Amino acid sequence: MKRKISSLLGQLFRVYVREFRVIFKDQGLLVFFILLPIAYPIIYSLIYNPELVRDVPLVIVDHDRTQLSREFVRRMDATQEVWVKGYADDMPEARRALAGRDCFAILEIPENFQKDLGRLDGADVVLYTDMTLMLRYKGFLMAATNVSQEMGAEIQKRDLQTDLPVAVSVNDPMKVQNISMGDITGGFDSFVMPGVLILILQQCIVLAIGMAGGAKREPSYITGYISFNEEPSVFMTMLGQMLSFMTIMIVPMLFLVHYVPMMFSFPMAGNTLQILAFLLPMVIGSICLGYCLQTIVLERESIFVIWVVTSLIFLFLSGLTWPRFAMPPFWQYVGDCVPATWGVEGFIRMNANGADLQQVSVEYKAMWIQAGVYFVIAYLLQRFVMRPVVRANYPLTPEQRASIEE
């Protein structure tokens, strides 16, 4: 028994050491294990940095020219999103300013603006915005909405002469201020990037494992090294490879979940060690998912076609841009099969809202169950599909077996 355990541990150690040599000889694997987890989040974060726009120029076309229309313009200019650059005599002049990039939006105030509001009939202002940047559109829309609601409430309170029950039914007796938990600035970057970090982590792992599977099917004279472990135990081979992968991913993971939020001022309310412990089953599940995909990866480059096209799908399934409760049941079940779905949900709660492991126990347990299921499937595929195919196509020479034993 001791001899058998010693033999298994020896296989584990040889695979662990050998995988390090294989990875550091392969520039493609190094890119996905080290470079992409570091470069991807920086590039994505810089795209939306700064994540809020301030004082974007706006041109006014005021057909009313009354005290109330000027007050509306003054309040628009007082918002942090808008800078009223000036007035235009008519819409053609304002459109020329918009086309020449002198402004990025036009606010048109209709005739009889003050008269209609004085009669409590309501008056419409028209906002035309440039859509080349969604952050600018969001800023203009928020500023116009907030100013119109505020002025409308003031006019109703001042001019509506009625008893208390009617006033309560018309006006909002309690002003509500909306503050997003974990994103107090309301920035797009702080909202979406914490979840995207987990999707990047999953993508890099699966791409690297898939590329390693494609290398197994290629002869050594193409890859430059022997890409296949011929240890007797498939279990120990997989375990040794997984340990080497996770060892290499420690630094990129720490960079993703701690230093990227620190660099770009993302929410950081969680404990880093607990977050790393939470992500451990997701990493294992992603590795095993990569093992499963190895059976259909015939070449190293095939994994890009198979996996990269799923990035946008997984972004939607994670619930970042499409709430999971609003999804049809089929898509909810599909999302449950993706390790990053549970990882995104738990990571946002921990990193943005300060939850601990106990408060994300549902996601944590789900990822461990998922990792176990994927490991069993991966083991069966590696033993009964992958290994026989590789042995049949590229049998090792005695010299290659000797180099493995060394």
Q: What are 73-126's pLDDT values in tens digits?
A: 999 999 988 999 999 989 999 999 998 889 999 999 988 888 887 776 777 888
Report the pLDDT value the prediction gives residue 298, as an integer from 0 to 100: 76
Report the pLDDT value the prediction gives residue 112, as an integer from 0 to 100: 87
Mean pLDDT of the chain: 83
Q: What are 37-54's pLDDT values in tens digits?
A: 989 888 888 876 666 678
User: Bigger pLDDT: 149 or 60?
Assistant: 60
Distances (CA, A) of 119 to 2, 303, 333: 93, 66, 54
pLDDT bracket for residue 176 (50, 70, 90)? very low
Report the pLDDT value the prediction gives residue 155, as an integer from 0 to 100: 73
Residue 101 CB neighbours (<10 A): 10
Q: What are 312-333's pLDDT values in tens digits?
A: 888 889 888 788 888 899 999 9
Report the pLDDT value the prediction gives residue 265, as an integer from 0 to 100: 81
> In which order are the strands placed within the sheet that holds 56-62?
82-87, 56-62, 105-109, 126-129
As given in the structure block, the two tokens for residue 29 are: 């694997």
Q: What are 50-87's pLDDT values in tens digits?
A: 666 788 999 999 999 999 899 999 999 999 889 999 99
- Whether residue 300 is predicted with pLDDT greater than 60 in this model: the reply is yes
Q: What are 327-377's pLDDT values in tens digits?
A: 899 999 999 999 999 999 999 999 888 889 999 999 999 999 999 999 999
Q: What are 127-143's pLDDT values in tens digits?
A: 998 877 777 888 888 88
Distance of CA 224 to the CA centre of its chain: 36
Report the pLDDT value the prediction gives residue 337, as an integer from 0 to 100: 93
Closest to 297 measured CA to CA, from 306, 287, 310, 285: 306
Determine which of 63-72, 162-171, 251-260, 295-304 has the lowest per-residue pLDDT on average.
162-171
As given in the structure block, the two tokens for residue 183 are: 């994103």
Helix (H, G, I), strand (E, B) or coil at 365: helix
Q: What are 20-38's pLDDT values in tens digits?
A: 888 888 888 888 888 889 8
Distances (CA, A) of 7 to 1, 4, 233, 379: 10, 5, 10, 20
Q: DSSP characters for 85-131?
A: EEE-SSHHHHHHHHHTTS-SEEEEEPTTHHHHHHTT-----EEEE--
pTM value? 0.75
